[in-house]
Structure 1
Amino acid sequence: MLEPEDLGERAGAGDPDGAGDEIGDDEDTSLNVPLAPPGRAPQDTDPHAADLEAVAEIARAHAQILGEIEKRIVGQRKVIEHLLTALFARGHCLFVGVPGLAKTLLISTLAETLNLSFSRIQFTPDLMPSDITGTEVLEEDQATGRRTFRFIRGPVFANLVLADEINRTPPKTQAALLQSMQEYRVTAGGTTHELALPFLVFATQNPIEQEGTYPLPEAQLDRFMFQVDVDYPTDAEEEEIVRQQTSDWRPELGRVLSPQRILRLQELVRRVPAADHVVKYAVALARATRPQGDKAPAFIKEYVAWGAGPRASQYLVLAGKARAILDGRFAVSQDDIAALARPTLQHRLILNYRAEAEGVRPGDLIDRLLGVVVP
């Protein structure tokens, strides 16, 4: 587990162009709130005045980010809110939706607004792991004739990585992201390379195509904090999209945050208190998805083969903290947990054959679960 000071030291590390820190203010003091001592868990006590000031700052930044994104993205407010929640909770996100719903545009717009270095990986059947992580090349010194290996960094070395159509590449290549998503580092040629922080993977997936696609392994799905379903726009939204996209209007985006500020805000999120009853509610929701347990309702036992693991309840609480902060509150509530249950849990359920035959979807089961598991 990375300590807070590790995050600070590695902001912008591993970025060959310095993109990780080139936009950072000379010394970002507006959110220079104290961190917990190394190796010691933060205590759930009354927030410091500096923390309360930072909460107000993140609420203002939240409104500014929404304003900038909405210059280019029409509608999709819930998707954007989930995206920002994952960002400040330091979680990766999987976006599932049919083509043409601005998933890629949304992610690239966020990177531009937040001054983050951005990299897009187009996943194809012939993509190799080294195309993601990087590769070593043999170079010869023209003066001495000495040959050495030099590591050329792949597109994973960016603050925000877009894995476009991630299910179009075989599992071997998909797995190249596993270490970076969990440990914020990459091992290649026997050498471990640290990634620039903040580091986030946002992936897109088309739910309707089966030909030439490869289902994501459960281990990789579990590393995504959210699976966000992107739906069709409304009539009015689609009309506005047509007007914008068939004109020459291309709005300029303002810059809202820097990588250093984002790191400080991510640490602030982890200091948000979570009361015992909130933690118990998150754990109860996760445990209720496991058909082998005695807490699972009948419809879970009927349709689910395997439920969510312990990482799910951790993500529920962490995402709830981020949602509270974005709302200007320094305490997470059970309503925050319930609001984020579907995107946090749905991709962690493995349905059985009966569920597939009857067209039951994981998200629908989570919605039913919220009516059964009482806060």
Structure 2
Amino acid sequence: MSGMPGMSSMASMSRTSIMPDAPMTTPQTGPQAGSPGRSDTEALEALSRTHNRLLEQIERRVVGQREVVELLLVSLFAGGHALFVGVPGLAKTLLVSSLAEAMDLEFSRIQFTPDLMPSDITGSEVLEQDPSGRRSFRFVPGPVFCNLLLADEINRTPPKTQAALLQAMQEAKVSAGGKTHPLPPPFHVFATQNPIEQEGTYPLPEAQLDRFMVEILVEYPGEEAERQIVAMSLDDRPKLDPVLTPAQLLELQALVRRVPVPASVVEHVVELLRTTRPQEPRCPPALRELLRWGAGPRAGQQLVLAAKARAALQGREAVTIADVRALTPAVLRHRLVPSFAAHSRGVGPDELLARVLDAVKI
């Protein structure tokens, strides 16, 4: 992203992203959310309008999942990956494909199965022979070479295959035949898991769960929304109008990273993190016995970045503690390891995080 027009003038803002509230005046490029010469303040106002247009387009197809859509957009504009947890039939695939269409992004879907191989994701080298009889290897890219990848039922494939996706998520590149192949930016993975059917699955290890910025719980829609969904099934699927291009998305992700974070917000994030760790003195005794392991520093980085995206999508120039607390469940729920006592009492991650938020006062 540093090679885009106008980015050199943004360096001072990116170096001081944690500061007291201050107006954003660095130029931002881009035809929609930041035309040449616009200040970051104007670009954020335009981003807020773009955010509303995206919601309007997506909700032409996906009804009754506003909170899920909002979290997905936060993850996307923050440059992260997202893990959806929900039973089948709740429009998770439709949501991601609709988002790709509304942003003119290349979309791929992989159905994860026990016999899926790493090369089925990353691609492989094939032996070819030219007319002269000379043989050589040619790399054939796999479905991971896209902008939005839907990893459907990611926990149904063995760890070796999961690890191939892990490299792509972490490094935005894949390795094959001793060579490294970069993935086209922007690149985001949205994975799904069924929380009920666990037979024959391979639970994601903590290292891979940590690569997802947010874990999004997809619930059943409300009664009125379900009526609309059933009625919509009788009609043709509406066509969506692109709101952004991939290049514009990259520019807006750079804008999000420049949103300043007050020192008080950073302190609040650190206090939340340390309260999740049972070995820390500030973790309340009643909570300590329910936690085996807490969130690490990477979780704090992801929480701040997600809070930046939430503020930017709402057209605000700085992150607030309210942004952090609103996103804490989505960012931290898959990063906590409950103790045996918590499992035996039926206390899940969301209840643990509610107690953490209660323990950390504003």
Scaled by the length of structure 2, the TM-score of the pair is: 0.92
Once the two structures are superposed, residues 235-262 of structure 1 have per-residue CA deviations (whole angstroms, 9 ceiling, x without a partner) of: 11111111111x1332110110001110
Match of 2:35 in 1: none
SS of the aligned residue for 2:334 comes to helix
Q: Does 1:63 align with 2:52?
A: yes
Counterpart secondary structure, 2:192: strand
Structure 1 residue matching 2:281: 3-state secondary structure: coil
Q: Match of 1:148?
A: 136
Does residue 1:158 correspond to 2:132, yes or no?
A: no
Instruction: Summarize deviations over 1:307-326 as a string: whole Å, max 9, x none.
Output: 11111100111000000001
Partner amino acid for 1:226?
A: V
Residue 294 (structure 1) aligned with residue 268 (structure 2): no
Selected match of 1:251 from 238, 246, 250: 238
- Correspondence for 1:46: 23
Q: 1:280 aligns with which of 267, 282, 302?
A: 267
Q: CA separation in 2, counterparts of 1:54 and 1:265?
A: 9
Aligned partner of 1:128 in structure 2 is: 117
Is contact 1:93-1:201 (8 Å) kept?
A: yes
CA distance, structure 2, for counterparts of residue 337 and residue 150 of structure 1:
47
Aligned to 1:151, the other structure's residue is in SS state strand
Contact 2:156–2:201 under 8 Å retained in 1: yes
1:56 offset after TM fit, Å?
A: 1.2
Partner residue in 2 for 1:5? 2
After TM superposition, give the deviation of residue 297 of structure 1 in Å: 1.8
State the secondary structure of the residue aligned to 1:227.
Answer: strand
Shift of 1:357: 1.6
Gaps of 5+ in 1: 9-28
Partners of 1:164 and 1:238 lie apart in 2 by 23
Provide the rounded CA distance (Å) in 1 between the counterparts of 2:85 and 2:12.
Answer: 38
Residue matched to 1:36 = 10
Residue in 2 that maps onto 1:176: 164
Name 1:269's counterpart in structure 2: 256
RMSD over aligned Cα, in angstroms?
1.7
Structure 2 residue 327 is matched with structure 1 residue 340? yes
Deviating more after overlay: 286-295 vs 327-336: 286-295
Separation in structure 2 between the aligned mates of residue 39 and residue 98 of structure 1, nearest angstrom: 43
Q: Is the 8 A contact 2:13 2:258 kept in 1?
A: no
Q: Structure 2 CA distance, aligned partners of 1:320 and 1:38? A: 21
3-state DSSP of counterpart to 1:78: helix
Query: By how many angstroms is 1:46 displaced?
Result: 3.3
2:212 matches 1:224: yes
Cα 1:102–1:218 change in 2 (3 A) is same
Give runs of aligned pairs for residues 208-223 of structure 1, distance below 5 A: 208-223=196-211
- Residue 352 of structure 2 corresponds to which residue in structure 1? 365
Give 2:176's aligned residue: 188
Q: Which AA in structure 2 matches 1:280? A: E
Offset at residue 328 of structure 1 (A): 0.8
**In structure 1, how many angstroms separate the alpha carbons of the residues matched to 2:137 and 2:236?**
47
Give how far 1:41 is off: 2.2
Identity of aligned residues (%): 57
User: Which stretches of structure 1, 4 residues or more, deviate above 4 A after TM superposition?
Assistant: 32-35, 42-45
Contact 1:5 1:38 in 2 (8 A): no
Equivalent residue letter for 1:195: L
Structure 2 partner of 1:311: 298
- Comparing 171-180 with 273-282, greater Cα deviation is found at 171-180
Q: Deviations over 1:94-150 (max 9, x none)?
A: 0000111111110110001000000101100100111111111111112x2111111
Point out the more displaced range, 287-296 or 317-326.
Answer: 287-296
Counterpart Cα distance in 2 of 1:95 and 1:298: 32
**What is the aligned counterpart of 1:98 among 84, 87, 91?**
87
Q: Residues 2 and 8 of structure 2 are in contact (CA less than 8 Å); yes or no, is this contact kept in structure 1?
A: no
User: Secondary structure at the residue paired with 1:282?
Assistant: helix
CA distance in 1, matches of 2:148, 2:243: 16
2:29 matched to which residue of 1?
A: none
**Aligned residues of 1:227 and 1:343 also touching (Cα < 8 A):** yes
Q: Which amino acid aligns with 1:277?
A: S
SS at match of 1:5: coil
TM-score (norm 1): 0.89
Which residue number in structure 1 is paired with residue 186 of structure 2? 198
Give me the whole-angstrom Cα distance separating, in 2, the residues matched to 1:300 and 1:175: 33
Structure 1 stretch displaced more, 115-124 or 280-289: 280-289
Farther off after superposition, 41-50 or 295-304: 41-50
